[in-house]
Amino acid sequence: MEESLEQFFVLVGLLVCLACLAKCVRFCKCVLLSFWKVLPRSFLQSMGQWAVVTGAGDGIGKAYSLELAKHGLNVVLISRTLEKLHVLAREIEQTTGSRVKVIQADFTRDDIYESIREELQGLEIGILVNNVGMLPNLLPGRFLSVPGEIQSLVHCNVTSVVKMTQLVLKPMEARRRGLILNISSGVALCPWPLYTLYSASKAFVCTFSKALQAEYRAKGIIIQVLTPYAVSTPMTKYLNTNMVTKRADEFVKESLNYVTIGDDTCGCLAHEVLAGFLSLIPAWAFYSCPFQRFLLTRYTDYLRQNAGIK
C-alpha cells in the first residue's frame, strides 16, 4: 500500500514538473518571437488570396486589416458603419495596392449571414479574423446593472464567431489550408466577477476555438484564439497606453508572430506575463468580496482617470 502511494505521488510530481516545463517552453517561445520574427513573410499569403476581418472599422479589426494588406493579402472589411469602411478601404488601396471589398453588416442581428455568404461567394478566403465584439460597459458592474443589450451582445460576441467560421471553413477544408484567428479576451481565462456576461461570452470563444482546432488540425487549418488584456481602442475608450495597455497596431503586429505557436495565445509578451501572474491568484481570493470591492473602487478610479470617463 505504501509503495503504491509512493508511486502515485511520484507520478503526480512528474506530471506537475512536465506542466511547468511546458509553460516555461511556451513563455520562452513568446520571448523569442517578440524579438525575432521567424515566420516567413510569405506564410500568410500561402493561406489564400483574401482575408476577411469582422469589426474592421475601428481598433483591433482595423489594425488587422491594414497589417494583412501589408502582407500582400486582399481584404474583405465587414462592419456596421459604412463610412468608416470606405475610408479604411481607400487607405488600404492607396498604401498597399491590395484589393478591398466592403460589406456592411450589423453583428448584433442574426439575419445577416446569408447576405454575407453571397458577398463572399467566389473568393479564395485564406484568413478569417473574428474580431467583432461588444463590451457592455468598460467600468465593472454587477449583472443586473448591465444595459438591456444582452441578446445583442450574445449575437455579436458568440453567434458571429460560429456563423462566420461556418461560412469559410468548408472551402478551407477542401484546400487543406487556412487560418482562423478568434479574438477573445483575457477575462475569458477564468470567470471574472463584475464583467460576468462579457467574460462568459468570450469564454465561449475560447472553448469553441480549441475544440474546433482539435477537429481540423489534421486538415491543415490553423484555428487560434487570442486572449489579450488591455488594448487601447474605441471599445476601451482609448485607455492610455503603457507597458501593459497596448496600441491596436502594435498588438496586431506582435500577435501575427505567434500564429503557429499553439491553439491559444494572449497575443503579446506583456499580456502573457500578466496572465501568468493572475493565474497565481487563488480562486477564493479572486472571487472574494474584497477583490470585488477593489474592482468597484480602485480599479474603477484607474479606468476613469485613464480613459477620461466622467
User: Would you call 238 a catalytic residue per the annotation?
Assistant: no
Residue 9: the pLDDT is 47
What average pLDDT does range 33-45 have in this prediction? 70
pLDDT at 38 over 80: no
pLDDT at 264 over 50: yes
- Percent of the chain scoring above 70 in pLDDT: 87
- How many domains does the chain fold into? 1
Let me know if residue 271 belongs to a domain.
yes
The CATH code of the domain that includes 129 is 3.40.50.720
Residue 310: the pLDDT is 72
Residue 26: the pLDDT is 55
Nearest 10 degrees: CA dihedral of 291, 293, 294, 299?
A: 130
Let me know if residue 147 belongs to a domain.
yes
Cα distances (Å, whole numbers) of residue 172 to 98, 127, 131, 205, 224: 21, 9, 19, 20, 15
Let me know if residue 158 belongs to a domain.
yes
Q: Which of 213, 229, 232 is nearest to 221 (CA)?
A: 213
pLDDT at 11 over 70: no
Let me know if residue 61 belongs to a domain.
yes
Let me know if residue 310 belongs to a domain.
no
What average pLDDT does range 151-175 have in this prediction? 97
Let me know if residue 137 belongs to a domain.
yes
Q: One of 64, 113, 195, 198 is an active-site residue; which one? A: 198
Residue 160: the pLDDT is 98
| Tens of pLDDT, residues 138-148 | 999 999 987 77
Mapping DSSP to helix (H, G, I), strand (E, B) and coil, where does residue 146 land? coil
Residue-number span of the structural domain to which 216 is assigned: 29-282
Residue 42: the pLDDT is 85
Residue 290: the pLDDT is 94
Residue 34: the pLDDT is 54
Let me know if residue 23 belongs to a domain.
no
Residue 149: the pLDDT is 81
Residue 147: the pLDDT is 72
| Tens of pLDDT, residues 288-302 | 999 999 999 999 999
pLDDT at 167 over 90: yes
Let me know if residue 156 belongs to a domain.
yes
What integer best gives the mean pLDDT of the chain? 90
pLDDT at 229 over 90: yes
| Model-wide pTM > 0.85 | yes
| Tens of pLDDT, residues 97-134 | 999 999 999 999 999 999 999 999 999 999 999 999 99
Which ranges of the chain would DSSP assign to H, the alpha helix? 2-35, 42-46, 59-70, 82-96, 113-120, 150-154, 160-175, 196-216, 248-255, 269-278, 283-286, 289-294, 300-307
